[in-house]
Structure 1
Amino acid sequence: MSRATAWTKKAALGAGVMVFRTGGRDVLDAVLDLARPCDAGVPLIRIGGDGDGGYLVPDDLAGIRACFSPGVSSVSDFEADLAQRGIRSFLADHAVERPALDNALFDFEKLFIGPGAAQNAVSLADWVDRKWRDDSEMILQMDIEGSEYGVICETSRALLRRFRIMVIEFHGLDRLFDPFGQQLIHIAFRKLRQDFEVVHIHPNNCCEPAVHDGMVIPPVMEFTFLRKDRLQGKTPVTSFPHPLDRANVAGRPDIVLPRAWYGDGAD
């Protein structure tokens, strides 16, 4: 249902209070429709550890030879697990000097992978072109603290389709309560959904969900995408959390994915 009037809501987030405004419910509903995960007929497995840096991906890794992992921070468990499967990982992060683990299949550079307009940024396209001209399939694991929207928008569909699986941590999703944030998030998800299906979502419990008018939005969530040609089925996922989900931050309760984000979105 569309709303033309602006919303205003004070929501407690940790120790602070934020005021959210949005120009209408229609764009928010469109994002929710694009984001709802499907059961692709391929079981999900956990790659990486039981905390932050571990992700659920489809058990469809055979034939993938390379992983591109911008934004590695201090955790490399995901890439280490891929290395055990013979998958080479290219890692980049401008905030650290080296990955957390040493591995013969790791190629690390101290780089900021981001949209071309950002200062000192290297585009995903330039990085991949320089490192991996092989036409074999790849996996993308991207956690770049909000720059993911610009990277998605400027990266060609042809390059994105080279990734069979993508795991992207989206930040600032509470900006869906803001008219400018809505548009950017909508554009990014609409582009990805041209060639990919969402197959899993896990909220990061690093911060409290934002709430307005009964709508709950965790500000940071991990999304797993599978390219459409790899689907073995397509039915709505109707139950969360997945048995393999784990809290990102130890000692804090995990956040259960709010009902609006999966199934038919109804309570």
Structure 2
Amino acid sequence: MKFHQRTPFVLAILRPVRPLLIKTFQSIQRWLKERDIRRRSRVEEMSSREQLEEFFDTLRAYDPGLPMIRLGGQGDGGYVVPDDLDGLAACISPGVSTVADFELALAGRGVPSFMADASVDAAPADHPLFDFEPTFVGTEDAPGWTTLESWLRRKAPDTGDLLLQMDIEGAEWPVLGAVDRETLLRFRMIVLELHDVHKVFLRSGLDEVGQVLRKLLDDFEMVHVHANNNLQPVRRHGYEVPPVLEMTLLRKDRVRRRTPVDKLPHPLDVRNNAFVPELVLAPYWYA
């Protein structure tokens, strides 16, 4: 019997123990992340409870007075955003990888997308509103690399609001830390997949993450946040920090009403991994 013929039989055997396997895998994930924090704590200063409390006090999610919609797929590649897309000049999408559901949804509303990713040879889908460059977005211009500012000057429309959708596997922290305010203000909306968020338990990580988020929140409101359940939270000082978060920010001049969000996940949120329970963020992440 060939392997593909045995697959239903194997799945039937594993089905009763799948919850136990998932729980075991999650425990291993958490242990590895926490071990990494402990290992680094031997040479790096750890964040205190008071410093973490101050950090979380800066995070507030607000209902912007606009309907929320889901753009993209029902798992990874889909995001909850305000329905404030009319008149957007373009989407800027570094780190597109092999999924373009978000960009295809925008194309359906007439919004072109400029994509960049050197890990793939071409855009994930062929569409007349797609422009693709096989390059990475970083903090300097070099062979195979471009800064966000240089890319916008080269490709983006000169006028009109833009949307930034960024998923660059941890490089978002230095890129956003280096980008100038004038460039950021070109974006009406910023949709991020934030990686290695659990590094806030290290003082150096907390400084980097806190600096970037404070910079963004000077001109944008956080209107949605969702934990990616592919990696389990790391725990310390009474706080749970998912290593990967999805975050949507809306420029403050687009906010119609600033009402605090008092409950998450949002009804439009979808588990990134359908086989793993949803991660429910504690209120200190948004309220």
CA separation of 1:110/1:261 partners in 2, compared to 1, >3 Å: closer, same or farther? same
Q: Does 1:35 align with 2:51?
A: no
Q: Does 1:139 align with 2:163?
A: yes
Q: CA deviation at 1:35?
A: 2.6
Say which one has the larger Rg: 2
Asked whether the 8 Å contact 1:31–1:189 carries over to 2, the reply is no
Asked whether the 8 Å contact 1:27–1:186 carries over to 2, the reply is no
Runs of at least 5 residues in structure 2 that lack an aligned partner in the other structure:
1-26
What's the secondary structure of 1:64's corresponding residue?
A: coil
Q: CA deviation at 1:125?
A: 0.4
Asked whether the 8 Å contact 1:83–1:105 carries over to 2, the reply is yes
| Superimposed CA distance per residue, residues 90-147 of structure 1 (whole angstroms, 9 cap, x where no aligned partner) | 0111111112211110001111011228884310000011001421111000000111
* Equivalent-residue separation in structure 2 for 1:74 and 1:137 (angstroms): 26
Q: 1:237 aligns with which of 261, 264, 273?
A: 261
Q: Which residue of 2 aligns with 1:13?
A: 29
Aligned residues: 253
Q: 2:206 aligns with which of 178, 182, 186?
A: 182
Asked whether the 8 Å contact 1:39–1:236 carries over to 2, the reply is yes
Asked whether the 8 Å contact 2:100–2:125 carries over to 1, the reply is yes
Between Structure 1 and Structure 2, the one with more strand by share is: 1
* Equivalent-residue separation in structure 1 for 2:151 and 2:63 (angstroms): 32
Structure 2 counterparts to residues 184-203 of structure 1, below 5 A: 184-203=208-227
Q: Which residue of 2 aligns with 1:225?
A: 249
* Equivalent-residue separation in structure 1 for 2:138 and 2:108 (angstroms): 28
Between Structure 1 and Structure 2, the one with more helix by share is: 2
Runs of at least 5 residues in structure 1 that lack an aligned partner in the other structure:
1-10
Structure 2 counterparts to residues 119-130 of structure 1, below 5 A: 120-130=144-154
* Equivalent-residue separation in structure 2 for 1:234 and 1:68 (angstroms): 26
Structure 2 counterparts to residues 61-72 of structure 1, below 5 A: 61-72=85-96
Asked whether the 8 Å contact 1:44–1:56 carries over to 2, the reply is yes
Q: Which residue of 2 aligns with 1:162?
A: 186
CA separation of 1:117/1:132 partners in 2, compared to 1, >3 Å: closer, same or farther? closer
What's the secondary structure of 1:174's corresponding residue?
A: helix
| Percentage of matched positions with identical amino acids | 45
* Equivalent-residue separation in structure 1 for 2:222 and 2:51 (angstroms): 18
* Equivalent-residue separation in structure 2 for 1:192 and 1:186 (angstroms): 10
* Equivalent-residue separation in structure 2 for 1:97 and 1:104 (angstroms): 17
Q: CA deviation at 1:241?
A: 0.8
Asked whether the 8 Å contact 1:205–1:252 carries over to 2, the reply is yes
Q: CA deviation at 1:12?
A: 5.8
Q: Which amino acid aligns with 1:125?
A: E
**TM-score, with structure 2 as normaliser:** 0.84
What's the secondary structure of 1:73's corresponding residue?
A: coil
CA separation of 1:97/1:51 partners in 2, compared to 1, >3 Å: closer, same or farther? same
Q: Which amino acid aligns with 2:201?
A: F
Asked whether the 8 Å contact 1:27–1:183 carries over to 2, the reply is no
CA RMSD of aligned residues (A): 1.8
Q: Which residue of 2 aligns with 1:5?
A: none
